[in-house]
Amino acid sequence: AYDVLVVGGGPAGASAAIYAARKGIRTGIVAERFGGQVNDTLGIENLIGVKYTEGPKLAASLEEHAKEYNIDIMKAQRVKSLEKKDLIEVELDNGAVLKSKTVIVTTGARWRNLGVPGEAEFKNKGVAYCPHCDGPLFAGKHVAVVGGGNSGIEAAIDLAGIAGHVTVLEFMPELKADSVLQDRLNSMPNTTVLKNAQVKEITGTSKVDGISYIERESGETKHIELQGVFVQIGLVPNTDWLGDTVERTRTGEIVVNNHGATNVPGVFAAGDCTNSPYKQIIISMGSGATAALGAFDYLIRN
Ligand code: FAD
C-alpha cells in the first residue's frame, strides 16, 4: 500500500506527488493524461519565475521533475471510484484496486464548451477560456465574452480594461451575474451587452475574425467582426466519479479546508477540482503542495 496516492497528473497532482515523495514516504500517482489541462495551453506567461513557456513543454517538465523522485507513476489510467475501508481503496477502470493510507484527489476541471462551429478550430487562435491567461493578447482589440453569469461578467470587466471593446452575449433574456457586477460593467464605456443572443458560429480563416449569433426574439442572424471570443459558460470539475463518498458543492467542487483536507479522514484534494477560488497553474501547484503537507501531517498523527 502507498502512504500517499495522488489521483490526477496536472500541476496540482505533480506538485502533490513531489512534495510527498520528498518526505521519503511511499508515493504513487495515477493519471489519465499527465500534464492535464496544461497540454491544451499554448503560451503560458503567468507562471511566476518562468517568463514564457508552452503547455506541452511544461507538461513534459512536470513529468521529468516527478521522475527525479521515487514515485510510482501510472499513466493512461482512469480512476472510477474511491472507498474508505481500513485503507483508502481506489479502483481503476481496468478493475485494478490501489490501496493507500491517504489519497490526494487532483482530477481538475474542464471548461464547458459552446459546441458551435469554429470553437474547436480556433482554440488558441482567438478562442480563449481564461481572461487572466489570455486577456493581454487582446490589448486594444474587440472581443466577445459568451456567458452572462458571474464569471462571464467578471471576465468582461477584466477585459474591458485591456481590450478596445467587449461585447457580452447571453442566451437568456437576463444576465445571471450579481447586480454589483452588472452595474460595474454598465459603467464602463467600451462594453455592450446582448441578451437573448444564441451564438451560432465563430468565424475566421487562420484566426478568429467574428462571431455570428441568432437574435432569439426576431430569429435574425447577426454577425459582429472581432478578434477574440472568451467562452465563460461554466467550469465543470472532474469529480462525478466520487459520487457521495466525499463532500462536494452543488456544482461538484470538492470541499477542502485550508490544509487541503476533505470531510473524509485521509482524503485530501487540490487544484481545479476543489472549491478553492481562481483556477490557475500556480494556484494548483500551491494547493497540491498544501495537500501533500496536510497528508504528511495526517500520517504522522495517525
Ligand atoms: P488539470 O490540469 O485539469 O489535471 C487533472 C488531471 O487529472 C489530469 O492528469 C487528468 O488526466 C486527470 N484525471 C481527471 N479525471 C481522472 C480520472 N477519473 N482518473 C484518472 N485521472 C484523471 N492557467 C494558468 O495559470 N496560465 C495559463 O496561461 C493557462 N492557460 C490555460 C489555457 C487553457 C486552454 C486551459 C484549458 C487552461 C489554462 N489554464 C491556465 C488553467 C490551468 O491549466 C489549470 O488551472 C490547471 O491545469 C489546473 O491543474 P489541476 O492539476 O488542478 O488539474
- What would you report as the CA-atom Rg of the chain, rounded to the nearest whole angstrom? 21
Atom of ligand 1 nearest to the CA of 271: 52
**Given CA atoms 234, 237, 243, 245 in this order, what sign does their dihedral have?**
negative
ipTM: 0.99
Mutate to test the pocket of ligand 1, among 107, 110, 129 (most ligand atoms within 8 A of CB): 107
Atom of ligand 1 nearest to the CA of 111: 36
User: Cell triple for residue 217?
Assistant: 426574439
DSSP states along 21-86: HTTT--EEEEESSTTGGGGG-SEE--BTTBS-EEHHHHHHHHHHHHHTSSEEEEES--EEEEEESS
3-state secondary structure 208-255: EEEEEEEECCCCEEEEEECCEEEECCCEEECCHHHCCCCCECCCCCEC
User: Which helix H or strand E contains 108, and what residues bound it?
Assistant: none
Mutate to test the pocket of ligand 1, among 58, 73, 133 (most ligand atoms within 8 A of CB): 133
Task: Give pLDDT tens digits for 84-142.
Answer: 999 999 999 999 999 999 999 999 999 999 999 999 999 999 999 999 999 999 999 99
User: What does the chain come to in residues?
Assistant: 302
The C-alpha atoms of residue 232 and residue 241 are separated, in whole angstroms, by 24
Mapping DSSP to helix (H, G, I), strand (E, B) and coil, where does residue 167 land? Answer: strand
User: Cell triple for residue 214?
Assistant: 441568432
- Under the banding of pLDDT at 50, 70 and 90, the label for residue 83 is very high
Q: What is the DSSP letter of 276?
A: -
pLDDT over 90 (residue 284): yes
CA angle 249-250-254, nearest 5°? 25
Residue 190 CA, ligand 1 centroid: distance in Å? 32
Task: Give pLDDT tens digits for 187-245.
Answer: 999 999 999 999 999 999 999 999 999 999 999 999 999 999 999 999 999 999 999 99
- Under the banding of pLDDT at 50, 70 and 90, the label for residue 4 is very high
Q: Whose CA is nearest to atom 34 of ligand 1?
A: 41
pLDDT over 90 (residue 38): yes
Full-prediction pTM beyond 0.80?
yes
CB atoms within 10 A of CB 297: 12
Residue 125 CA, ligand 1 centroid: distance in Å? 19
Pair 31, 7: CB distance under 8 Å: yes
Q: What is the per-residue pLDDT for 40?
A: 85
* CB-count burial class (<10 Å; 0-12, 13-18, 19+) for 286: middle
Q: What is the per-residue pLDDT for 70?
A: 97
Express as a percent the part of the chain with pLDDT over 90: 98
Residue 78 near ligand 1, beta carbon < 6 Å = yes
